Amino acid sequence: MRRGILPIVGSRIEDVQAADCAKRPILIAPKPAAFRRRVIGQKITEIGRVGKRVVVRLASSDAMIFEPRMTGLVLLAAPPTIEHLRLKVALSGGKHKELLFWDRRGLGLVRLVTPREFDKLYGLEKLGPDALAVTSVELRDRLATSRRAIKVALLDQRALAGVGNLYASEILHLARVHPACPCDQLRPAQWQAIHAAILEVLNLAIRYEGSTLGDGTYRNALNEQGGFQNHHRVYDRAGEACPSCGKTQIQRIVQAQRSTFFCDRCQKPGRKRRAAAAGQ
DNA sequence: CATATGTCCTGAGAGC
DNA sequence: TGCTCTCAGGACATAT
């Protein structure tokens, strides 16, 4: 998403229109009037990212934060439907005349923040290191003492920022780690494998511009489908043969109310620690 | 403090 | 056919 709207760097914001949304009035903070006043006339200096949010930085040093959650899209082209268009930002001085935020389910949000608010909302207190920048050692240090299942821990944005449910399954299959294995039972070599798989899977998904699943919701900034769904190893493939061993059917289980997909041949549960048993 | 569960939202699909 | 029910997974509030 960040890469998709990079072309608007240098453009100036001419206008902002927020759709009235009775269900979720807190679509925008601050309130529309203040939002408009602080944004109109501003030049866009940079497009950044913090975890799963897109950050549009302005010359004033304020930043617009786009948080798509499940079905939110950041667009430079016409949206999938005129319904569910939440925010329209009119631009000048560049190729693109509009930046849009469209969100079918309305779980996403857009807010404007000062640098101080940015740190408070998205600083190290709230978000872990970025998944594309974390080192293997840092990853292990932050997660290895947890008793939670590794799949559940990977989704904790305070521990590690940027991994979502789909990619957690993909990462653990590539790393050959069982999703239900408690973090504190993983061996150093497994942490290295997970770290390598995080980079591999996320970078590949970025190259293919994301996963457009059955409901067709995800689109890139030009409202085109992603391609990574054709490269999913396990996600949404329950019952199909595992792409690694070709022998076992991919399983679907539920962890923390979310689907997990894995191969029980390639991703063996970790052995219980021998030390504990031997000590008795 | 560390984990676990409930909540919000919409539209698709299942089942009857 | 048309109704109800369940589910999808982001982040955060509340509970254990």
DSSP structure string for A137-205? HHHHHHHTT--SBHHHHHT-TTTSBS--HHHHHHHHHHHT--TTSBGGG--HHHHHHHHHHHHHHHHHH
Task: List Cα–Cα distances, A36 to A75, A111, A222, A227, in angstroms.
Answer: 19, 11, 25, 36
Structure tokens belonging to residue A17: 């229109």
Q: How confident is the model at residue A277 (pLDDT cuts 50, 70, 90)?
A: very low
More confident residue, A21 or A171: A171
Span A77-120, pLDDT tens digits = 999 998 899 999 999 999 999 999 999 988 899 999 999 999 99
**How many Å does it take to go from CA A279 to C1' B10?**
54
> Which residues, in sequence order, are CB contacts of A28 under 8 Å at separation 6+?
A18, A35, A87, A109, A110, A111, A112
Nucleotides of chain C in contact with protein CB (under 7 A) are 7-12
A154 CB less than 7 Å from any atom of strand B? no
Please report the DSSP string for A49-104 in residue order.
EETTEEEEEETTS-EEEEE-TTTEEEESS--S-STTEEEEEEEESSS--EEEEEES
- Provide the pLDDT for residue A147: 94
Number of residues assigned to chain A: 280
Cα-to-chain-centroid distance, residue A194: 17
Task: Give the residue from A39, A26, A51, A4 showing the smallest Cα distance to A106.
Answer: A26
Please give the residue that has the higher pLDDT: either A217 or A272. Answer: A217
Q: Report how far residue A92's alpha carbon sits from residue A11's, in angstroms, rounded to the nearest whole number.
A: 6
Distance A36 CA to B14 C1' (A): 45
- Residue A244 CA and nucleotide C16 C1' are separated, in Å, by 40
What is the predicted pLDDT for the residue at A273?
Answer: 45
Q: Are A103 and A71 in contact (CB under 8 A)?
A: yes
Q: Which nucleotide is nearest to A260 (CA to C1')?
A: C9
- pLDDT of A25: 61
User: CB–CB of A111/A65 below 8 Å?
Assistant: yes
pLDDT at A278 over 50: no
For B13, nearest residue by CA–C1' is A215
Q: Does the CA dihedral A96-A72-A58-A129 come out positive or negative? A: negative
Kindly report, residue by residue over A144-197, the tens digit of the pLDDT.
999 999 999 999 999 999 999 999 999 999 999 999 999 999 999 999 999 999
Dist. CA A69–CA A105, nearest whole Å: 9
The residue that minimises its CA distance to C1' of C10 is A69
* Tens of pLDDT, residues A205-241: 999 998 988 777 899 999 999 999 899 999 999 999 9
**Residues ≥6 apart with Cβ < 8 Å to A54:** A1, A2, A5, A47, A48, A65, A66, A68, A74
Which protein residue has its CA closest to C1' of B10? Answer: A105
What's the pTM?
0.93
